[in-house]
């Protein structure tokens, strides 16, 4: 929330809209963007021409009515359905053009933001920024929808108001020059009154409605926080249920929604105050010109048709000049959405700068994995690894060990090009030759085959190859469910997910495999069965692992150990094993001595009280 409020001073909503519009109108879709915009403008101009025609029809109709001209009245009666049908058709056409324009802009904007967010690790780097825009998913999904739709609607209505003003201001001037309003001989006096009336209404609306802008920003923030709280509860449902924390979480959700209700109450109160102004303003605007010109009508200076035309022209001019007053709630909502999108743009740019500001140089296509004077730091500046030198040749199997918090995962992320804090150089194979297995593999939404084949397309491998890989990794039961869609990150245990990661290795067969605690959820026998892949099916694959289990030593040629910020290398035989973390060890069934159940006592021999239990 602080970042959004700070962003208010850096970006104006109009400037933000122009920035996003320039990006689209200058993109590869510029022909579509300009074509749809031209169509909206043409439909709007046609609507204004039709409105001018209706004004002329009103003058002719009421003049014929005043003269009791039946033939003239009949002609106007035949003409009206044509004008009404044309008005309806143009209204629908303009609405369609606006909808397609807003939808096309939103589609481009969502794809643009999504691409920037997920590419080059920016979503990861954004999570490391202390002032990053919160809830980027909600900003991309919801704020883009409202920002584009309201921008097109406001832009179209503003264009309509401007052209309408130019069209009717001359008509109002010509009609009012011969009419002394309320007995005052003022040239074009009705136009001057319209200008003063609209200026007063706009100023009053601005004074009363100005807080709405900040209220809408706070509402968007409160809504996104409540939505995030609900999503978090869905993701952590099992942990909450096991701990019996439902009542406490319900209170947290109530508190989050209470903030939404509080902001909504402020917004509704402000909108009611604006309604007092808007309702009275419209009634006076419709009646004022008729009252002011009625003396001239009673004096016979003007006819009924002219009086009606004058009233309509006055109303159109006032409406055009009162555009801000009429659309103020929309303007406030529009500003809040635009500023949230620009805060997201700022965070994406900051994430890009964070990724590029580090002094770690990444050299691709090196054919090996080497660290040259590599220093890694924590985000707070603490040195994790200092001046590390290491070289891992193709086909070698190297284990990286160290205590908790020593920087193993930071080194893993640096090798992937994701860790920005540090200096030195990393020479590594081409990205296409490497496959990284984190502790919790990523499983995309969709069918199981997509999860197994990731990051390759689901049709990259045949069913037989996928089934063989799953079976080899102890997941034979999943081989018949390849086309079944679901949340596999929920339905599979962490151990099953780690097995699935090794199935990916079998399918992709990369030249290098980087494993970060990739067997931590497996028992030692299961771990050994998967690591044996590097002696059989994956023999010759360069392997770099992180993990502190002593059982991992036998599967690697040498060990690099992080100790006090230094990288110490040795062979597995030369290093004493790290102490295994305390855990409950259970022997396998075949190793247990045969146990027979104890004979059950005779019930008749039990005391009466025991028999009753």
| Confidence at residue 10, expressed as pLDDT on a 0 to 100 scale | 47
**Whole-number mean pLDDT of the chain?**
80
593 has a pLDDT exceeding 70: no
Question: Model confidence over 260-303: pLDDT tens digits?
Answer: 999 889 888 888 887 787 777 777 777 777 777 777 777 677 77
> According to the model, what pLDDT value does residue 358 have?
63
* Residue 355, pLDDT score: 65
Are 373 and 423 in contact by the 8 Å Cβ rule? The answer is yes
- Look at residue 510 in the predicted model and tell me its pLDDT: 93
Q: Do 344 and 113 form a contact (C-beta atoms < 8 A)?
A: yes
Beta carbons of 175 and 310 less than 8 angstroms apart: yes
- Is the pTM here over 0.85, yes or no? no
The number of helices, as runs of H, and strands, as runs of E, in the chain is 21, 12
CA distance 536 to 196: 88
CA nearest neighbour of 435 among 531, 544, 522: 544
Q: Is the pLDDT of residue 596 over 60?
A: no
pLDDT of residue 594: 37
Query: Does residue 106 contact residue 327 with C-beta atoms inside 8 Å?
Result: no
DSSP state of 575: S
Tokens of 557: 């040629």
Sign of the CA dihedral 322, 323, 324, 326? positive
Position 2 scores a pLDDT of 40
Q: Which of 43-52, 80-89, 189-198, 548-557 has the lowest mean pLDDT?
A: 189-198
For the record, the structure tokens of 403 come out as 């205590």
Q: Are 386 and 566 in contact (CB under 8 A)?
A: yes
Least confident range from 117-121, 154-158, 437-441, 567-571: namely: 567-571
- pLDDT of residue 254 exceeding 60: yes
Structure tokens given for 299: 């004096």
Q: Are 392 and 439 contacting, i.e. CB atoms less than 8 angstroms apart?
A: no
The whole-angstrom distance between residue 506's C-alpha and the CA centroid of its chain comes to 35
In this predicted model, which residue has the larger pLDDT, 360 or 184?
360
Q: How far apart are CA 171 and CA 165, in angstroms?
A: 10
Distance CA 226, CA 233 (A): 11
What tokens does 543 get?
């392997």
Spatial separation of the C-alpha atoms in residues 566 and 441, rounded to whole Å: 29
Cα 254 to Cα 134, 238, 249, 336, distances in angstroms: 20, 20, 9, 24
- Looking at residue 450, what is its pLDDT? 92
Q: How far apart are CA 165 and CA 365, in angstroms?
A: 65
Tokens describing residue 429: 């194979």
Tell me what percent of the chain is helix, strand and coil, each rounded to the nearest 5.
65, 10, 25
Pairing mode of beta strands 369-377, 383-392 = antiparallel
Q: Which of 1-15, 31-45, 363-377, 432-446 has the lowest mean pLDDT?
A: 1-15
Angle of CA points 22, 24, 29, to nearest 5°: 135
Indicate the length of the chain as a whole number.
613
């Amino acid at each position: 929330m602080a970042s959004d409020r700070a962003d208010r001073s850096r970006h104006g909503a109009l400037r933000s809209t122009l920035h996003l519009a320039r990006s689209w109108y200058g993109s590869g879709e510029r022909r579509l963007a300009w074509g749809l915009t031209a169509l909206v403008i043409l439909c709007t101009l046609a609507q204004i021409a039709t409105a001018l025609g209706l004004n002329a029809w009103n003058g002719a109709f009421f003049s014929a009515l005043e003269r009791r001209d039946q033939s003239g009245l009949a002609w106007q009666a035949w003409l009206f359905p044509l004008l009404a049908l044309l008005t309806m058709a143009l209204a629908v056409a303009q609405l369609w053009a606006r909808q397609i324009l807003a939808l096309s802009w939103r589609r481009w904007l969502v794809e643009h933001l999504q691409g920037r967010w997920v590419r080059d690790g920016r979503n990861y780097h954004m999570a490391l920024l202390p002032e990053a825009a919160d809830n980027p998913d909600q900003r991309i999904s919801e704020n883009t929808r409202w920002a584009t739709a309201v921008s097109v609607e406001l832009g179209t209505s503003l264009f309509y108001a401007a052209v309408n003003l130019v069209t009717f201001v001359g008509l109002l001037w010509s009609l009012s020059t011969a009419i002394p309003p309320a007995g005052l001989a003022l040239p074009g006096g009705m136009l001057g009154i319209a200008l003063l009336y609209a200026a007063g209404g706009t100023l009053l609306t601005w004074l009363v409605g100005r807080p709405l802008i900040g209220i809408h920003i706070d509402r968007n923030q409160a809504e996104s926080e409540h939505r995030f709280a609900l999503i978090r509860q869905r993701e952590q449902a099992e942990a909450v249920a096991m701990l019996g924390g439902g009542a406490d979480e319900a209170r947290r959700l109530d508190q989050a929604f209470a903030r939404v209700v509080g902001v909504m109450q402020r917004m509704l109160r402000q909108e009611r105050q604006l309604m007092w102004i808007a309702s009275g303003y419209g009634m006076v605007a419709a009646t004022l010109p008729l009252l002011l010109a009625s003396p001239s009508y009673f004096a016979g200076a003007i006819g009924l048709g002219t009086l009606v035309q004058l009233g309509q022209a006055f109303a159109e001019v006032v409406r055009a000049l009162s555009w801000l007053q009429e659309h103020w709630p929309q303007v406030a909502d529009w500003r809040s959405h635009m500023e949230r999108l620009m805060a997201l743009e700022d965070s994406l740019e900051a994430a890009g700068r964070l990724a590029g500001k580090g002094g770690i140089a990444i050299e691709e296509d090196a054919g090996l994995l080497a660290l040259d004077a590599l220093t890694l730091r924590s985000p707070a500046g603490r040195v994790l690894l200092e001046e590390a030198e290491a070289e891992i040749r193709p086909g070698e199997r190297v284990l990286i060990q160290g205590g908790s918090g020593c920087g193993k995962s930071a080194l893993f992320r640096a090798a992937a090009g994701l860790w920005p804090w540090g200096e030195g150089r990393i020479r590594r194979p081409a990205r296409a030759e490497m496959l990284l297995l984190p502790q919790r593999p990523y499983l995309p939404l969709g069918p199981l085959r997509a999860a197994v084949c990731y990051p390759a397309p689901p049709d990259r491998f045949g069913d037989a190859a996928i089934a063989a890989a799953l079976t080899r990794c102890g997941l034979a039961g999943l081989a018949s469910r390849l086309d079944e869609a679901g949340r596999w990150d929920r339905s599979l245990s962490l151990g099953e997910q780690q097995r699935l990661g090794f199935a990916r290795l079998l399918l992709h067969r990369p030249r290098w495999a980087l494993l970060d605690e990739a067997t931590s959820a497996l028992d030692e026998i299961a771990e050994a069965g998967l690591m044996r892949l590097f002696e059989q099916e994956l023999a010759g694959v360069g392997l770099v692992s992180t993990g502190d289990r002593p059982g991992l030593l036998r599967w690697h040629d040498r060990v690099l150990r992080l100790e006090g910020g230094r990288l110490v290398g040795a062979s597995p035989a030369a290093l004493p094993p790290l102490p295994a973390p305390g855990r409950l060890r259970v022997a396998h069934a075949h190793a247990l001595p045969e146990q027979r159940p104890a004979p059950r006592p005779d019930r008749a021999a039990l005391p009466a009280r025991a028999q009753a239990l």
